[in-house]
Chains A and B, each alone.
Chain A
Amino acid sequence: NAGVTQTPKFQVLKTGQSMTLQCAQDMNHNSMYWYRQDPGMGLRLIYYSASEGTTDKGEVPNGYNVSRLNKREFSLRLESAAPSQTSVYFCASSSRGRNQPQHFGDGTRLSIL
C-alpha cells in the first residue's frame, strides 16, 4: 500500500542552493498536486497537474517549478532556495473526474538556512 511516496523526508539547504523534491504515486491517478504547509496557514497549493503533460499554477507558485515526468511522477524544484521557502511540502494525487478526493504523501520537511 505505497500510495503517494515523497523523497526525501528531510532536507537542509543553504540559501541559493537548488533542490528537487520527488513524488510518485502508484494509484494510477491522473491529477497530482504540490502543497506547502506552514504553521497557522493550512495547506496552500503551489502547482498542480491535471493530467500527464499539463501543469498549472496554484496559489503560491513563485520560486518553484514543476515537472510532470510521466503519469506516476510529479517533481517540485527550487532553483534558488530562500529562507521563506522553509516549510513542509506535501504531494497529493487524485483520480480523474470532478470532485475526486486527494490522497497525500507523508511530506518533505525542508529547512533553508
Chain B
Amino acid sequence: HLLESGGGLVQPGGSLRLSCAASGFIFSDYVMTWVRQAPGEALEWVSVISYTGDSTYYAESVKGRFTIFRDNSRDTLFLQMYSLRAEDTATYFCAKKYCSAPGCPFGFDVWGQGTMVTVSS
C-alpha cells in the first residue's frame, strides 16, 4: 500500500529526496506522515502533511532543512532533505493516518517498509 524509495548514502551537507508511492486507498483523503528510526533507536516523528498539502508540521530537529510535500495526482508523498547531518541517518517510513475525518487523532494504520538513509563521508 505504501512503497518508499530514494534512500541511499549521502555526504554530510548533501541532499536527498524520498518518495512514497501509495496504492489501495484514496490518497488525497488522508493525512500522511514521515517517521524515522535510527539504527537501534526509537521511532522519531519527522513531519506531517494535510490532505491538500497546504498545512505541514515538522520536528524541531529537521525544521528548515526538510520539506514534506505531496502530489495527489500521482498518489505520491515526498520528503526533500537538505543539509543532511550524520544524525539524520535512519530508516525513513511513510505512513497513512488511520482515519480520514477532520480532526482525526494522530495515529497511523498503514506503513511502508522503510527506506534507509545514511549520511556519512
Q: Do A and B bind each other?
A: no
A interface residues with partner B (beta carbon < 8 Å): none
